[in-house]
Chains A and B, each alone.
Chain A
Amino acid sequence: MSALQRALLAPGLLILVGLVIAPIALMAVESFRPFVGGRVGAAGGWTFENYTELIAPAYAFYFWDTFRIGFIVSAAAVGLSTPLAWQAARTRLRIVRVSIFGLLISLLFLSLIAKLYAIQMTWGPSGPLAFFGALIGVPVRSPGYAEVLVFIGLLHFVLPLAALMLIGTFQNINPRLEEAASSLGAPRWRVAMSVTLPLALPGLLSTFMIVFAMCISNFVVPLILGRGVILFTTNLMYTRFSDVANYPSGAAIGVIMLVLSCSMVYAIAGMARRVAQGRG
């Protein structure tokens, strides 16, 4: 390694160690400290209490909500972005392709807060789509509707990303295979079900995992659309810190979330490797 390369690498490494590794290590240490009301920073002694108290049903509930909603949204996002991605990948018209790209990328660049505001104004109590709540039996003004709003908000947030990832998947499936099935007499829905979808399965799965990881680590959507009824673990962590100033407990939640998200990434990477080997 040359001197120049070392000099180029140094600022980045400094940032990694100083702003990622050290703070997280400090947080991990803090998570084993007992909580002393009214103080931030180290108190004496060590304890597991910050972790054990999270097993209590009152807290386990947040984890359950987070994972349940995250799972449903991810499944819906993969299901609904598939037609969009397939259309963009297969259309012969350049204008259709570029319009879908333009729509997805504009949505990606659009501020999440602006999106959530737009959803609140559209699906919320005074919005033109408020009747949807009555349609599915959850009145707009009932507490249960918060979950519907969080669901819509998360879906709107992850759908463009899922679609962009899946466009790559469908583009790399040879269209000749679909044409062959078609010319052998299979109706279109059979082609989709027995040729396209099985070939796209690895891509669909990894998209699902990535979207799921994004959903369960989301903070803003439940904060704004959850009306305090739906809180994710991320929101719990923030409340532990902002309302009760219980830094050690927040740190314990942070460590758990970090472990969860690392294992998720590990699983995704493992899956990607297996798929790559299967093809190679």
Chain B
Amino acid sequence: MMRWRIAEDYAAVVIFRLLLAAIILFLIVPIGVAVILSFDDREFIGAFPPTRFSLRWYRAFLQNPNYLDGLVVSLKLGLAATMISIVAGAGAAIALAESQWRGRDVVETLFLSPKFVPTVVIGFSILGFASAIHVFDAFTRLVMGHVVITIPFTVRATLASLVGIPRSLGEAAVSLGATPWRAFVDITLPLARTGIIAGGLMAFVLSFDEVAVSLFLTDAFTQTLPIALVAEMRANLNLTVAAISTVLATLSVIIVLILDCAAGLDNVIGRGMYRG
């Protein structure tokens, strides 16, 4: 009986480990393939694996004005949208966290709601609205769209960082003679700092990778990097995209390493209630 149970447990563990390995491979292998292909020396996309290696696709990336212009637009757009959504979102979150009035919860839900609106709907509706109010500049339209998709993240991250901080701290400062503005700058803002930074980071990453909203709002002269990449991938597959993907993958690993050094990944996720 006992021996049977040990065999059963052993089989269960083996099957579980195999499944786990398969899932991790499913997630990692494609990224690895793209990274290896980005160093391929061949002119065309041939059988995997490549036989000779070079940096030609990285040079192609650096020499292609389409991608570089796209990169510049994406960076500018990401920064603009992030700044606006930090000012508007973090401000709103602080005001919401510090006050209790009727309808407060409704306003909070409204601020988080763009997250649940399909991104195509956001792009489509802003396009119609922009033409109705005679905004035809692509960059302005893009900023409008990207602010909408990023604002729930700055609001939410700031709100989360203010949970559990007693409102009385700011009130104490005011009763000791500080102006409300001074209390805001010296007390509330520093307390909300981690949330504001985290929300801003998420907002930038989200904006930098956005396709659906941008596709509606770009024009022939103002293209973001993702839009240029999508156009390239739909027209013909070439390995420049592999080089760019590798750069992006490296960046995301660097972000995670910084996150781990700064806060510890364990703390970012939380350990749950049954673990010390």
Interface residues, chain A, CB within 8 Å of chain B? 1-9, 11-16, 19-20, 22-24, 26-27, 30, 40-41, 80-81, 83-84, 87, 89, 94, 97-98, 101-103, 105-107, 109-124, 126-129, 155-156, 159-160, 164, 167-168, 170-176, 185, 187-189, 192, 213, 217, 219-220, 223-224, 234, 237-238, 241, 247, 250-251, 254, 257-258, 261-262, 264-265
Contact = CB atoms under 8 A, between A and B. Distances in A.
B132 A234 contact: no
A80 B23 contact: yes
B124 A241 contact: yes
B80 interface: no
B20 interface: yes
Contact of B233 (A160, A224, A238): A224
- The 4 tightest CB contacts between A and B, nearest first, are A171-B272, A12-B92, A114-B245, A23-B129
Interface in B66-104: 84, 87-89, 91-92, 94-96, 98-99, 101
Given A19-B144, A41-B132, A213-B116, A87 B33 contact: no
A27 B127 CA distance: 10
Residue in B34, B96, B113, B128 with the greatest tally of chain A CB atoms within 10 Å: B128
A126 B46 contact: yes
A101 B265 contact: yes
A234 B212 contact: yes
Nearest to B5: A187
B269 A15 contact: no
B212 A220 contact: yes
Contact of A117 (B181, B245, B253): B245
A257 B120 contact: yes
B120 A261 contact: no
B29 interface: yes
Nearest to A266: B116
Contacts of B208: 111
A30 B148 contact: no
Q: Interface on chain B toward A: helix, strand, loop, or mixed SS?
A: helix
Contacts of B211: 112-113, 219-220, 223
Given A11-B88, A109-B205, A127 B33 contact: yes
A137 B13 CA distance: 31
A112 B209 contact: yes
B129 A26 contact: yes
A196 to B, nearest CB: 12
Given A26-B129, A102-B265, A224-B233, A261 B92 contact: no
Interface string B1-19: 0000100110011001001
Given A5-B99, A12-B91, A122-B34, 6 more contacts: A8-B94, A27-B125, A106-B256, A185-B5, A224-B234, A251-B128
Interface in B185-244: 205, 208-209, 211-212, 215-216, 226, 229-230, 233-234, 237, 241-242, 244
15 contacts: A12-B88, A14-B88, A16-B110, A20-B122, A102-B265, A110-B248, A114-B244, A116-B233, A170-B272, A171-B273, A185-B5, A219-B120, A223-B230, A250-B124, A254-B120
B197 to A, nearest CB: 15
Contacts of B43: none
B33 A128 contact: yes
Contacts of B237: 117, 120-121, 124
B169 interface: no
A118 B33 contact: yes
Interface size class of B (residues with CB under 8 A): 35 or more
Nearest to A177: B274
Contacts of A155: 26
Contacts of B234: 223-224
B52 interface: no
B233 A120 contact: yes
A121 B256 contact: no
B256 A189 contact: no
A89 B270 CA distance: 10
Nearest to A213: B116
Nearest to A28: B125
B105 interface: no
A234 B155 contact: no
Contacts of A128: 33, 48-49
Contacts of B24: 84, 103
A101 B268 contact: yes
Given A118-B245, A122-B29, A258 B94 contact: no
B87 A113 contact: no
Contacts of B268: 101, 105
A3 B180 contact: yes
